[in-house]
A and B are shown apart, each in its own frame.
Chain A
Amino acid sequence: MTTGFWHQVAAVIERDLLRERRRGDVLWITIPFGAIALLLIPLAVGTDAALLRQIGPGMYWVIVMLFGVLVAVGKASSETLPQQDASSLAGLDPAAGFVGRSVSSGVLLLIFELVVGLVAVGLYNISVIGIPWLVLTLVLAAAGLALLGTLTGAIVNSTSAGTTLVPLLVAPLSVPLLLGATQAYDGLRFGHSILSWVLVMATVVLIVAMIGVLTARPLQET
């Protein structure tokens, strides 16, 4: 990979983050949506403090997986055909486009995770433990989900389904991330090693990144 490649990756990240900053979709729509979901759950299952404390981390991760993927297919990261054409003709390597878009989605997902995480900690009285490991699982989950969302977004691009299909495609494939994140939290709580779960998540990140880079060109063909 040449310097040109990473320059292009940086240009795409800057573009996506700039567009999101101006639009504010994640800040004003996706994050409030995730937060209100956390508020709805106790209304449905009961407000017993011990129960909420027990199910809280799991509920948090389910919401990250289901709603977080919306960040990766949001308006700020979707492009019209003329915009795609202009980028292609400026020489954008499709693989650089994939990497750049995954990184910017990953950054936004991490913000989503942190804000919604604070809400979850507050509402469910979850204890925050093993911060370095916790941060690592948050980063890996954001990266894995961003890659899955970006890749499936590219798969459905220019088909009639649009982005409505993405959550269905991503949800079953995100199971290792969900299990990795929830089990790692349990491991921290009970003092077990969480290395194997961290490795599972890292493997997902690596594999999806590899598939995305290798298939970027065929997926751009229309």
Chain B
Amino acid sequence: MQSQTRIRRWPWIAIGLSLAVAFTLSMVSPADSVQGDLVRIMYVHVPSAWLAYLAFFVTFIGSVAYLITRSLRWDRIAAASAEIGVYFTGLAIALGMTWAKPTWGVWWTWDARLTLTAIMFFVYLGYLALRRTTDDQVLRAGRASVLGVLGAIQIPLVHFSVIWWRTLHQPPSLVRPDGPAIQDPMMLAALIGGVVAFTIVYVSLMVKRIELIHLEDRKVDMESAVERPVAGEAVTAPELGASS
């Protein structure tokens, strides 16, 4: 626990390079024949959504591994991944809505995938809210990992129920939730490039975030070891009328 935390620089470089490549690909790829430049939103939206699913899956793995091994390392992985996942879920939803308004004329449509993504966003927002409620590393890890497992196991059920619900109610015909059809190889390259780049961004952010959690925990440890008084020291002999 007192070991030095290694501060790595390569994640920043990796993030910079991969985003630069993804940005270039998305800019040089042609505009869509129907949607025009709007299609470029997809090169961020699709990788963000992919990343969100990846991140929440890692949170699930980290939570299960913590419950089995009781090693705080796994809890840190689960926590870091949930944070990144919530951020990219939010980004995917915001970009999806930005794309939907000019394309479909509405900000939101009750498509199964969209609904599921929004529900996932709130499940993991709750997970992060829970983590904020205690400083106790072991208590926090135990509680959060149970929620991490519960959330992840409920998601397939939410998924199926939302899909069945949508198949029963025909969606309005104007609003077609399918993404743009990809016909141009450059567009495909931009999309795949985006997914690869965002995966690199995810790994890099994970490395930095775990570093940071490690530092935060060490700070709490050092404070409790040095500055914080142990029990009992907060109460001293009353000085009122002291005669000794």
Contacts and interface: CB of A to CB of B under 8 A. Distances in A.
Direct A–B contact in complex, judged by CB atoms less than 8 Å apart:
yes
A18 to B, nearest CB: 29
Interface residue tally on B, bucketed by range? 20 to 34
B104 interface: no
Given A159-B139, A168-B122, A215 B154 contact: no
B144 to A, nearest CB: 8
Interface string A191-220: 000001100100110011001000100110
B167 to A, nearest CB: 11
Given A172-B119, A221-B142, A165 B161 contact: no
Contact of A219 (B120, B125, B130, B142): B142
B126 A218 contact: no
A190 to B, nearest CB: 10
Contacts of A173: 123, 150-151, 154, 158
B10 interface: no
Contact of B154 (A156, A168, A176, A186): A176
A160 to B, nearest CB: 5
Interface string A149-167: 0011001101111000100
B153 A172 contact: no
B154 to A, nearest CB: 5
A135 B129 CA distance: 36
B149 interface: yes
Greatest chain B CB density within 10 A among A151, A155, A160, A196 is at: A155
Given A159-B139, A172-B126, A183-B165, A218 B133 contact: no
Contacts of A183: 164-165, 168
Contact of B122 (A171, A176, A208): A171
Interface residues of A, number: 33
A62 interface: no
Provide the main secondary structure of the chain B interface: helix
A172 B157 contact: no
A175 B158 contact: yes
Nearest to B115: A175
B147 A207 contact: no
B134 interface: yes
B126 A165 contact: yes
**Lowest 8 A-B CB distances belong to which pairs?**
A159-B133, A161-B133, A176-B161, A172-B122, A169-B126, A179-B161, A159-B134, A176-B157
27 contacts: A151-B146, A156-B130, A156-B133, A156-B143, A158-B134, A158-B139, A160-B133, A161-B130, A168-B126, A169-B130, A173-B150, A175-B119, A175-B162, A176-B154, A176-B161, A179-B161, A183-B165, A183-B168, A196-B164, A203-B157, A207-B154, A208-B150, A211-B150, A215-B146, A218-B67, A218-B142, A219-B146
Interface of A: 151-152, 155-156, 158-161, 165, 168-169, 171-173, 175-176, 179-180, 183, 186, 196-197, 200, 203-204, 207-208, 211, 215, 218-219, 221-222
Given A156-B130, A211-B150, 15 more contacts: A161-B130, A161-B132, A168-B129, A172-B119, A172-B123, A172-B158, A175-B119, A175-B158, A175-B161, A183-B165, A200-B157, A211-B146, A215-B149, A219-B143, A221-B139
Interface of B: 67, 119-120, 122-123, 125-126, 129-130, 132-134, 138-140, 142-143, 146-147, 149-151, 153-154, 157-158, 160-162, 164-165, 168
